[in-house]
Structure 1
């Protein structure tokens, strides 16, 4: 439901929808986001940071990518310039971060999040605990003050944006708006971001957002927007949808479309060091075929003597692990009709975008036939072993 927008000191009504439009335009000027719903979600997340005292939950923003140079840090730059009271945690002690959180908390910004959750995470237990606990109100950290001889409660509630390579732990992503960044493809361009030149107008936009939302915190706190998801996902997305409803215009519909699109994405914790190699080797394995059964693709990958796939795990690379890694690039298997019968497999067309973005040095050879026929999954019978050992050509 749309709520009346507050007035400025001179009596003019604030157009919240126009402010969100301006913020979205700034984001897409400097960053290539993975889709329109992702752009809407980041826009609403940034706006929601300006009304943190109104929210019962502090959603995280996870900015992740399968490789370097996908725009994670640039997106974090724009978030820093437009969010409420940005607090960059790099070179900050856990004690300093904890003591900075008040009833009107800052927005925590964490770049290179693998230093907190990855192999280099040793020594970051306090900050990791804060990021896990700070999603919900009234979850303070307990610390013993030896000087005062008492236990003190330290607030942890604060919205936080984390950028890193690969998936974050489930304890973070389950409470987050997850943005899966991609390397810029051919023909995709953005404006250069110059901190001294571009940050001041973005900070003015942040001030305008704060003036709009802070004028009606009581209304936002009481808001119970209809949500298209339930449970923890609803807790995470509710502040964003409340901001959209408060703005009105097309934003309520766009917010709910973003909720459905981004929560539908399946996240996994695939291994970063092998993803790009697998993607490149899949291109070689396909040759000129337009589609391959999964078993044939695995055989070709493991047959390459210089590749690691024959020794990848006790029995070499499996269909399950292949699917897990490829899903990071939004590539999924499907049931395909080959000349020898139906089988689970992969289509070249599903790889071409990822190849263009992450493996641009070689041209993708075109297939010599049309696209493979995809069959609906329900009712598909098990195929014979013969059909799984023959490279497929489309009918």
Structure 2
């Protein structure tokens, strides 16, 4: 499987080939595990081979179903009825402001990461509560537009793709050219399912703790069952294919307000204006003025009315920046100070500035 996989896709991190293969193998024995990590195949731009990678995941996996746009109702009913491996193509379009039922889809994908999770719905014809199984392996394939919810990222293994160089020789993928191999592969993976230990808790490297341990445990079990150098491969991959840092959407928004005010010389901005600026700066195209109000209220920041507009004041935000965000590096602060605000040796000192704001509110002015 590994040699076959390398023929069609390029990965800068060689470990990614092994993890895609192991992840696909785990789908054949998914009922033996208490957790099924999400596989997040992403790239910064089109043309990096994501579609081919998604096709190969489908080719290798047990009972695959490719979703091109869906709703939460379809999602959990499909999982309950067919126990599939889900390959969500164009996942970058799901969790945006225009994504259909994105909050409910996120809930199903988050909950379905753990064995035994259910979705409950009332049957309006019988008034009986119906139960739907939500546990299933899921691969998400899409552009990394920074909209993927952190709760999904923390349950996933990232497979970051980049464009192959012209010198990289890859074969063109067509699944119909390999139907015979698929039949052979299925027989081998069914045999693997029978030898993977049920609910095993294998030894893990010291760097895998808490949620990371949950994510990787099933892949270590598969690697141990296969034997050879596979345990070493998965151990190496668990060190390189991890999220360095995951920032919540709420924190990104608060960081966005600080970045906006750092680049302007006004003491307040209208809610819609601040929302639009954050969306342009951070690519949070799902953010609305109502959403901004809700997020900042959780940090204790509320707008003040002025001339009929809801205005966010720099002074109100500063307390939240100090409490919730890491301090800005000095090199990010100094460029925003006027030249006369620097001492002879370059240290900042207070600067008096006159700022004009279109507002009748004395506090804002």
The structure-2 alpha-carbon separation of the partners of 1:268 and 1:63, relative to structure 1 and needing over 3 Å to count, comes to farther
Structure 2: distance between partners of 1:190 and 1:93: 35
Q: Which residue, out of 157, 173, 179, partners 1:193?
A: 173
Q: Deviations over 1:281-302 (max 9, x none)?
A: xxxxxxxxxxxxxxxxxxxxxx
The structure-2 alpha-carbon separation of the partners of 1:153 and 1:222, relative to structure 1 and needing over 3 Å to count, comes to same
Q: Deviations over 1:141-195 (max 9, x none)?
A: 1111122212222110000000111142211110111111111224223111123
- 2:85 is the counterpart of 1:107: yes
Deviation at 1:209, TM superposition (A): 3.7
Structure 2: distance between partners of 1:224 and 1:269: 30
The structure-2 alpha-carbon separation of the partners of 1:66 and 1:204, relative to structure 1 and needing over 3 Å to count, comes to same
Deviation at 1:204, TM superposition (A): 2.3
Q: Deviations over 1:339-372 (max 9, x none)?
A: xxxx989xxxxxxxxxxxxxxxxxxxxxxxxxxx
Count the aligned residue pairs.
Answer: 260
Structure 2: distance between partners of 1:250 and 1:156: 34
User: Map of 1:1-395 to 2, 5 A cutoff?
Assistant: 23-90=1-68, 94-102=72-80, 105-166=83-144, 167=146, 168-198=148-178, 200-217=179-196, 220-228=197-205, 229-263=208-242, 265-266=244-245, 313-316=260-263, 385=346
- Which stretch has the larger CA shift, 115-124 or 82-91? 115-124
Structure 1 alignment gaps of length 5 or more: 1-22, 271-311, 326-342, 346-383, 387-395
Structure 1: distance between partners of 2:118 and 2:189: 26
C-alpha contact (below 8 Å) 2:43/2:143 kept by paired residues: yes
Aligned partner of 1:379 in structure 2 is: none
Helix, strand or coil for the counterpart of 2:47? coil
Deviation at 1:114, TM superposition (A): 1.9
C-alpha contact (below 8 Å) 1:60/1:175 kept by paired residues: yes
Structure 2: distance between partners of 1:103 and 1:221: 23
Deviation at 1:106, TM superposition (A): 1.0
Structure 1: distance between partners of 2:27 and 2:212: 18
Structure 2: distance between partners of 1:176 and 1:91: 20
C-alpha contact (below 8 Å) 1:50/1:209 kept by paired residues: no
Deviation at 1:265, TM superposition (A): 3.8
Deviation at 1:84, TM superposition (A): 0.5
Structure 2 alignment gaps of length 5 or more: 250-258, 265-277, 283-329, 333-344, 348-365
Structure 2: distance between partners of 1:64 and 1:40: 17
The structure-2 alpha-carbon separation of the partners of 1:48 and 1:103, relative to structure 1 and needing over 3 Å to count, comes to farther
* CA-atom RMSD in angstroms: 2.8
- Which stretch has the larger CA shift, 34-43 or 77-86? 34-43
